[in-house]
Amino acid sequence: MSSRIINDNYENETFKELDASEEQFKEVAFYNCYFEKSSFQFAELKGCSFENCTFANCNLALAKFNNTKFIGVVFNDSKLLGINWSSTGVVIIASFINCLLDSSVFSDMNLAKIKLVSCSMVETSFMNTKLARVKFDDCDLKNCQFHQNDLSYADFSTSRNYFINSSSNKLHKTIFSLPEAASLLANLDITLK
């Protein structure tokens, strides 16, 4: 089904198999909407807002969200590859559950209110971002970059494959588990036996 987004405002709508790939949307507001098996791949959304919306089994890979708000949004089993979330604005309040977030960028943001559960975040970049109290629950963080972030009280205890430089990130009461926590020593000039 091709895109049927023609209005500026949608409330309590369900979109199934919506194909909005490569389309452009400006200042469209979605409130309490449900997107299922829909595609926004390569789409460009400017000044849009999603509030209390759910995306289930959707493809948003390489979408551009310029000045687009996500408040109370749930992404379930969705593909969100290669997205520069920094262009959305400063704050995202969302839950990512069993999603592919590989090669994404989160820079200069406050992500203290996001939830990450069973996500692949391979080669994702976090720079100058507040991640305080965020729980990375069963996430694959292989080749992720963490630089100048506030990771106070963040919980990595069930995640894997991370490397976090303790000198370039704030790690106050951050939670780790073994053996993964040994990676915190990798940037130190030491030898482990």
Residue 149, token pair as written in the block? 């972030």
Residues 48, 30: Cα–Cα separation, whole Å: 8
Cα dihedral across residues 90, 104, 125, 130: positive or negative: positive
Residues 33, 37: Cα–Cα separation, whole Å: 13
Contact 4, 25 (CB under 8 A): no
* Averaged pLDDT for residues 74-96: 95
Is the pLDDT score of 184 beyond 90?
no
Is the pLDDT score of 190 beyond 90?
no
Is the pLDDT score of 54 beyond 60?
yes
Domain limits, the chain = 9-185
Bond from prior residue into 179 cis (ω within 30 degrees of 0): yes
pLDDT digits (tens, 9 = 90+) for 1-48: 446 788 999 999 999 999 999 999 999 999 999 999 999 999 999 999
Q: Does domain 9-185 have CATH number 3.20.10.10?
A: no
pLDDT digits (tens, 9 = 90+) for 129-179: 999 999 999 999 999 999 999 999 999 999 999 999 988 999 999 999 988
Segments of 100-171 assigned E as strands: 105-107, 115-117, 125-127, 136-137, 145-147
HSE (side-chain half, CA atoms, 13 Å) at 66: 9
Q: What is the pTM of this model?
A: 0.93
